[in-house]
Chain A
């Protein structure tokens, strides 16, 4: 019997896929693009994501446990959809590998300036590979354990209760905002990860709570982001926030215990867990697409090839600016997929429903 994912684990999985190292730079991005009190703008993004999830839940309801690949192949011959699968495979694989690279480059900048990032990346990729081949059920189990290992760090924000100043928030809203459209895309990518629920349809327990769980996961992400951003806005002045590369790292560096201080490295190391789940989920999605193209291939080999290709691709961008730019482009495409794919599925499912409906002749006396 194949185990199914419980809504609770789906919520955690979605949260862990969505949140990642982006949280360390998000307050700065908000300050740069949304201006004063930019943290409030997160609410808008949360609502948009929630609407997108509602769209997906419509598709989920109609899909009745079928995978997106089954739905698509119901309408088109397999050979015709292979380019679409290759596109999705490439996109997800790239997001997986580039987000891994981003985590590693940030770590390398702070701690190992002389170490080649690709050396560290091979270790992270190996971990990701080991988890991917264990299947989605075990990935969700790992995500749950990692969640408990990371979530407590939010409590560290309590240290700023004393130094938080409401006056830093000012009474201006979105003043000095610039380049809102580009900024919005950048901020929206911080929420990405929820769309992978599309691939979890056949693995989820057939209960009502599944889509609610996605909403809860998204809400949790939103709450974490808004808490961190609010504290950053209240702790730093607006100009400081705009100039800091990773405000949350500096925030953590401020915390002092009697026996330990500058815990930002330690906490950033713990964020390996959330990054890992993000990488694993995207690469697992790529693997799902690859398996659809080559159904008879050995899963472990397929996963190994995907990870190897991803590793090679991630050699290309070498500095953080390049990696950020890549992630930006990939994120924009993924936003398209997040909205486009469920719309397409809905269209197909509605067509299918109409086609499969029994013909009723109303003229015939009943």
Chain B
């Protein structure tokens, strides 16, 4: 490492020494004009390279000096700048004793594509990709305002990954911006690879099972958060941008809600909260009822249930855990395999295992329905991270239901509520707007009110400019 106080004059030899054993470094020489070029081929755009270099190669040696005083060639005065420049996709030009840098950065990147994890039916389909600057351009092109401010930070002691913090001046609460920047500056780790990884370094409760900052791959979501007075962070190399602060209920909203008519949006929102209840409690209730509370089942249904349960040799809790585990195995296998094989896994799991397990007398039909419904319900939750957290919580509830019945479920829910109440996201309550209660915000949480009725920004942003829409008379 070079001492920052000690400036070393740039030289070709020193630069090459620094990149010793870097086989991907390109070093080209032009002896007739006494010019050396050093760069990483894969970080630069070859068209740019030729645009800058052709004038030099076509000139005579005494003309080179005059060409290099053009503004695109920056004179570098210390070796550190040169090395950093090369790492950031610049071409270093060594001519006699002088060193120049010229920017030709354009790394290989995939094109902007539709989001795979956050699909919508209507509305824009573009999603973020890995390069931060391309993501930044997606946002800039949609918010044409000089109030959109960007702070550039670096995370990773070795990786030096760029992180851009975006907020809208006058809408975002500057205390939150300051707090977020402070937290990021405190991170001391070798490398951070993804936005979802970064938020684990900066959230308020790293040990909580729930994600405390929401992440998204969609520019429209990111923009809606920005104009709601929230802060977003774009990490270079990650297609997911994070939002801070976030609330628990934010994870149940999808951009689709706003692109449909409000009644449909509301119905979908309510369906998602019903899905939350189903995924948390359905299997647990099955276990509880079949272990302790048979009286809850009406007589007509009881016959079907007992018949289906009669061949099963295990207590309901083992039966349920076995099936839930199988579903999780199938899901994990499906997620890691290519789409075509994933489909096969679905068929194998759904039909073969499900059907065979019932026929073999390992589980009951009704349980298969309960487990499948709660698994489907868990996929209704738009955020994959939240859905995964809730699926894990469900196992706890099933065990509690198997030991204490309905009371166990109530205890489990009480524990979840107590845990959620203690959580904060960037020092704001995680369960806003339920507690503290902001009933105005309920119009965009539990329902999706007509657009004209949602006039205020969410309270969680604590924004200096509360009104987002003025009604024209």
The contact string, 1 if C-beta is below 8 Å from chain A, for chain B 415-437, is 10110111000000101001111
A71 at the interface (CB under 8 A from B): no
In the complex, A123 Cα to B407 Cα: how many Å? 11
CB distance from B246 to the nearest CB of A (A): 17
A111 / chain B contacts, CB cutoff of 8 Å = 292-293, 405-407
With both beta carbons as reference points, the residue of chain A lying nearest to B406 in the complex is identified as: A269
Contact present for B437 and A144 (CB under 8 Å): yes
A223 at the interface (CB under 8 A from B): no
B297 / chain A contacts, CB cutoff of 8 Å = 260-261
Contact present for B418 and A131 (CB under 8 Å): yes
In the complex, A256 Cα to B404 Cα: how many Å? 23
Contact present for B436 and A141 (CB under 8 Å): yes
Give the secondary structure class of B's interface: helix
A285 at the interface (CB under 8 A from B): no
CB distance from A131 to the nearest CB of B (A): 5
Interface-lining segment among A90-98, A270-278, A320-328 = A270-278
The contact string, 1 if C-beta is below 8 Å from chain A, for chain B 437-468, is 10000000000000000000000000000000
A301 at the interface (CB under 8 A from B): no
Q: A123-B411, A127-B414, A130-B418 are in contact. Are A262 and B295 (CB under 8 A)?
A: yes
Q: A134-B421, A145-B421 are in contact. Are A269 and B409 (CB under 8 A)?
A: yes
A157 at the interface (CB under 8 A from B): no
Contact present for B298 and A261 (CB under 8 Å): yes
B413 at the interface (CB under 8 A from A): yes
B296 / chain A contacts, CB cutoff of 8 Å = 260-263, 265-266
CB distance from B217 to the nearest CB of A (A): 30
B410 at the interface (CB under 8 A from A): yes
CB distance from B33 to the nearest CB of A (A): 66
B301 at the interface (CB under 8 A from A): yes
Contact of B414 among A3, A257, A262, A273 (CB under 8 A): A273
A37 at the interface (CB under 8 A from B): no
Give chain A interface residues in 57-79, CB to chain B under 8 Å. Answer: none
Contact present for B407 and A272 (CB under 8 Å): yes
The contact string, 1 if C-beta is below 8 Å from chain B, for chain A 129-156, is 0110010001011101110110000000
A348 at the interface (CB under 8 A from B): no
Kindly name the residue among B292, B409, B415, B417 whose own CB sees the greatest number of chain A CB atoms within 10 A. Answer: B417
A185 at the interface (CB under 8 A from B): no
**Chain A contact residue count (CB 8 A cutoff):** 39
Contact present for B417 and A9 (CB under 8 Å): no
With both beta carbons as reference points, the residue of chain B lying nearest to A141 in the complex is identified as: B435
Contact of B410 among A8, A256, A273 (CB under 8 A): A273
A219 at the interface (CB under 8 A from B): no
The contact string, 1 if C-beta is below 8 Å from chain B, for chain A 241-282, is 000000000000000111111110110111011001000000
Contact present for B301 and A259 (CB under 8 Å): yes
In the complex, A315 Cα to B434 Cα: how many Å? 37
With both beta carbons as reference points, the residue of chain B lying nearest to A256 in the complex is identified as: B298
Contact of B415 among A3, A127, A146, A259 (CB under 8 A): A127
Give chain A interface residues in 1-48, CB to chain B under 8 Å. Answer: 3, 6, 8-9
Q: A6-B436, A269-B406 are in contact. Are A138 and B411 (CB under 8 A)?
A: no
Give chain B interface residues in 265-280, CB to chain A under 8 Å. Answer: none
Contact of A265 among B405, B411, B420, B435 (CB under 8 A): B405
A263 / chain B contacts, CB cutoff of 8 Å = 296
A260 / chain B contacts, CB cutoff of 8 Å = 296-298
Contact of A145 among B293, B410, B415, B417 (CB under 8 A): B417
Given A145-B431, A263-B296, A269-B407, output 6 extra A-B contacts at Cβ < 8 Å. Answer: A6-B437, A123-B411, A130-B418, A140-B435, A145-B421, A268-B406
Binding site for A on B (CB under 8 A): 292-293, 295-298, 301, 404-407, 409-411, 413-415, 417-418, 420-422, 429, 431, 434-437
> Can you list 13 A-B contacts with CB-CB less than 8 angstroms, sorted by A residue number?
A8-B437, A111-B293, A127-B415, A130-B418, A134-B421, A138-B421, A141-B435, A259-B298, A261-B296, A266-B296, A268-B406, A273-B414, A273-B417
Binding site for B on A (CB under 8 A): 3, 6, 8-9, 107, 111-112, 120, 123-124, 127, 130-131, 134, 138, 140-142, 144-146, 148-149, 256-263, 265-266, 268-270, 272-273, 276
